[in-house]
Amino acid sequence: MNFLQNFTPIRGAVRPVKQGYVGAVLHNAATEQYALVIYSGECHGQSCAVENCAAYFVVDTKGLLVKSHVEPVAKLELLRYTTHLRSNGLATCACPPAV
């Protein structure tokens, strides 16, 4: 996860994604890039405890995907979750496929 070392969390941009996962938006001021990072972890009230990074997706100021990574152990579970959201009309994405 060294790639994310210069990214800082955006205040208030940490939320539960699904049971056992927490999503956070981070910003790198030097490169003007944003990252959506999915961690294993839990949220209780206003407090979230994160553990290991399961995946991250980095975009530039135009919203173009710069870099992405999904840990092998999380890949299948996150794929099932996003497929479930799309099949129920809860999520759409015009993004290119992850590299």
pLDDT by 10s per residue, the chain, length 99? 578 999 999 998 888 888 888 999 999 999 999 999 999 889 888 788 888 888 899 999 998 999 988 888 766 666 665 555 556 554 444 343 333
Residue-wise DSSP of 44-93? ETTEEEEEEEEEEEEE-TT--EEEEEE-HHHHHHHHHHHHHHHHTTS---
Distant-in-sequence, close-in-space partners of 5: CB < 8 Å, separation ≥ 6: none
The answer to whether 21 touches 40, Cβ cutoff 8 Å, is yes
Element (H, E) at 16: strand 8-18
Residue 4 is classified by DSSP as: G
